Amino acid sequence: MAKDRDEAEVVLFTDGACSGNPGPGGWAYILRHPGSGRETSDSGAEPDTTNNRMELTAVVEGLKQLKRPTVVELVTDSKYVGTGLSEWLPRWKQQGWKRKEKGRLVPVKNEDVWRELDRLASAHTIRFTYVAGHSGHAENEECDRLAVEAYKELQRNGM
């Protein structure tokens, strides 16, 4: 049976969290291969960051796990990530990684992470699915729990 071109080979659930903005933050992902039932997850933290940066980092870290071009369904509660990938990124690249603010071009925030996300995403077909945060979506809730635990662990260790 032929595979539907739009059928996701993997589903990447992501979330970022921050205590203060900026402040200590965490990221997490769950990467699931529906065909085999195989699943991996990871999380991490930074001592001084923003929520948006952690949202992006979660996607970057998840995409790093893919070893070949893949159809990915990205499930996140971050409209920043979804809109950025689908709408803003092409324009930013055209404008030399600048965005318009009050009629003039200014540097893109989190440019280093956006550039890495752009590099990784270019190898894959990514379909963005938005889920409302803290609404009971099981994988989103688990990613949130992992991200919060990651930055709390960092705080417990004196960072």
- Is the residue at 91 inside a domain? no
Alpha-carbon span 139 to 102, nearest angstrom: 38
- Is the residue at 115 inside a domain? no
- Is the residue at 5 inside a domain? no
- Is the residue at 58 inside a domain? yes
- Tell me the pLDDT of the chain averaged across its residues: 92
Under the banding of pLDDT at 50, 70 and 90, the label for residue 6 is: low
Mean pLDDT of 60-86: 95
3-state helix, strand, coil in the chain (%, to 5): 35, 35, 30
- Is the residue at 117 inside a domain? no
Query: What's the structural domain count of the chain?
Result: 1
The catalytic residue positions are 15-16, 55, 77, 134, 144
CATH of residue 136's domain is: 3.30.420.10
Domain range for 15 is 10-83+126-156
- Is the residue at 76 inside a domain? yes
83, containing H or E segment = helix 79-83
- Is the residue at 110 inside a domain? no
Q: Per-residue pLDDT tens for 76-125?
A: 999 999 999 999 999 999 999 999 999 999 999 999 999 999 999 999 99
pLDDT above 90 for 51:
yes
Sheet harboring 38-49: ordered strands across? Answer: 38-49, 23-33, 10-18, 71-76, 125-130
148 contacts: CB under 8 Å, gap ≥ 6: 17, 26
pLDDT above 50 for 1:
no
- Is the residue at 130 inside a domain? yes
